[in-house]
Structures are given as C-alpha cells and as structure tokens.
Amino acid sequence: MSKLCQAALALSIAVACIGAAGAPALKVLGRDFEFPHSLPNVPAKLSQFSGLEINSFTTNDGVKLSYWEAGSGEPLIFVPGWSANGAQYFNLMALLARHYHVYVLDPRNQGLSQRVERGGRIARFSMDLKEFGDHLGIKSANYVGHSMGAAVLWSYIDLFGTSGIRKVAFVDEPISIYAHEDWMEKERSEAGGSTTSPERMVAAFTTGGPASRLTTDLKPFERAQLMDSPYFENSERFAAEFVKNDSKALARVLFNHAVNDWRDVVAQKIDIPAAIFSGDESNNLPSLRWGAICDSRSSPVLIHCGRTGRPLPDVQESCQICWGSALVPGASIAMN
C-alpha cells in the first residue's frame, strides 16, 4: 500500500472515530432536568449522570437515528417499543451502566431520531438495528426488546440470524397482535391476538379513535395513566420534557407491526440463551407462556414481574430481576 493510501486510510479511520464519539446528554438536550422523585441509586438530575451520552448515525437510506449510551464493558442494547425512546430508559441506564456498556436506540420517527415518511415497516426497523451494530463495530451483544422492540428483534433474527446476539430478552409483546377471524379461542390466546381491525387499532392509538376491547388491548392505556410509581413518573416526565412525538410519524409503522405473526421465528429460529418478561396483569402473558414452551431450541426463561402491566420503565417497583444466565451473568439488580 502506498504512503498516500495509508495516509488516506488513517484519515478516514480518524474521521469515523470522531463521528462515533458521543456527546454529553446535557449538551445535546441543552438544559438540565430535575426529577420529581428522589430514587435510590438513580441521579436526581440529568447533570448528575456524567457518563450519559447521546450520539447519532445515518442509515443506508439516509435517516439520522439517535442513540443513548453509558457505561463500559459488555455491550447491552435496548430496543424500545412503539412510540418509546431512550429518555424513558434513564433509570435503567443509570443502574446498568455500572456493569455494562448500555445503548438505547431511538427508532426512526421516535425519540430524537429523524421523522421521515419512508421505512415504516418492522423489517426496516430491524435493518436499522443491524446497521446500528455495524456502526458501533460490535460483533456480538446482548439485546433487550420491549413491546414492539421485541418484534424488531424477532424480525432481526428472521433476517440475519443470531450470530451477532449473545443473549436476548423479550419484554411483554404478543407474538401476533392481529387475531384472524378463523382462529379458535385457544389459537388466539396462544398467539396473543388482540384486534381484528388493525385500522381501528391504529386510529385508537394515534388519532383518538374509539377504543374498546374489541379494537385493541386496553391495558396499556389504563396502566399508563396511573402514574402511581415514582420510577415511571420520573422517566415519563423526563421524556415529555425533551421528546415531542408526532402521531402521524408514529402511525406509519403501527399497522405493519400489528399484522405480523412471529410464531415461526419464536418456535424455530431462536437458538441462543433467552429470557421472556411479562407481568401478571398483562394480557400478553398467555402468548408468552406459549412462546416459552414452543421455543425448544433456546429453552427461554419466563420471568413474571409481579403485577406490573405498564411499559418497561416501571418494572423496578414491581420486582427485583436477577438477570443471571438468562441475559447478563453476574448482575442481580433492580430493573427500571
């Protein structure tokens, strides 16, 4: 290789490294934030989480995606659910960053990531996740998908296999949201079907359309309104301060998400250590029990999180989760 080529290569590597360097979250967000509740082992202010950074990368279809990161060591990547974002993982990141290099990817049209009209499909979201790992230069990581984030991981495994995943956790996501009209009740329950009209479900979630138990699972609506957990209230108020959701942008992926059926992936393609999380109040529990039984290749651990029926950021108050060999060995901590 000529000296000129060597110099060009060194320069390109240096530029890439500069682009990958994270910026302090306080600088990116532009101001401090004081949480309404003081919690054990969690910073009371944004400025007290000195290692929290926010960075971004651009996908191969030209979309700028943001991600949050903190800590060092074995990589642990969180994939948020529909409409969720890294700000809601503040508590989790503060706790886990003491043991791992934690990342939370803001999916396209969510969080601090770019709003675009293209790519509103779970398959594209899983490609974004693949490109995220490539951007970080991570050959293998632990992954956690909450709600729709679990579906993104199922799609990732379907398309790219499991060679880049050390261990995986799926948190409270039905394996098929759409309930086919010709299904018997047993099949509907095991698949997790909660709607026969994806259009009405999307309208209920994005435009205030009429919602009933015939339209969708109402439990997320009901539980999210309670604000009876200081952990949940802290993360929700923090996210609301810095993230402004666009209902039209959020709606673009929801229909596609609703009509996917991942039973073949769950039953046949997961060949790595896995954990499945749900709560006693979750209507997804029967579906996830089915998944734990049918997934004979990885023999996943099914973990009940007490009475929680809310999104992931509320898990800590409901139970103490020992990750053990199911996900990240050596840590027994409270999740939030």
What is the average per-residue pLDDT within 309-323? 40
Among the ranges given (37-51, 100-114, 235-249, 307-321), the one the predictor scored with the smallest mean pLDDT: 307-321
Residue 218: pLDDT band with limits 50, 70, 90: confident
Please give the domain boundaries of the chain with CATH numbers for all domains: 24-333 (3.40.50.1820)
CA angle 268, 271, 277 (to 5 degrees): 90
Which phi-psi region, left, alpha or beta, contains residue 71 (left: φ > 0; alpha: ψ -120 to 50)?
left
Q: What is the pLDDT of residues 143-181, one digit of tens each?
A: 999 999 999 999 999 999 999 999 999 998 999 999 998
* pTM metric for this prediction: 0.85
Q: Where do runs of H (alpha helix) occur along the chain? A: 3-20, 25-29, 90-96, 122-136, 148-160, 185-191, 198-206, 219-224, 230-242, 247-258, 263-268, 285-294, 315-318
Q: What is the pLDDT of residues 120-135, one digit of tens each?
A: 999 999 999 999 999 9
CA distances from 33 to 5, 88, 299, 305 (A): 47, 13, 42, 29
pLDDT exceeds 90 at position 108: yes
- Cβ(46)–Cβ(96) below 8 Å: no
CA distances from 86 to 31, 68, 126, 330 (A): 17, 6, 17, 24
Tell me which amino acid residue 164 is. Answer: G
Tell me which amino acid residue 316 is. Answer: Q
Residue 63: burial class (beta carbons within 10 Å; 0-12, 13-18, 19+): buried
Q: What is the pLDDT of residues 279-290, one digit of tens each?
A: 777 888 788 777
Residue 326: pLDDT band with limits 50, 70, 90: very low
pLDDT exceeds 50 at position 332: no
> What does the pLDDT read at residue 17?
36
Q: Distance between CA 43 and CA 311 in Å, rounded? A: 21
Q: Distance between CA 12 and CA 4 in Å, rounded? A: 12
188 against 58, higher pLDDT: 58
> What does the pLDDT read at residue 333?
30
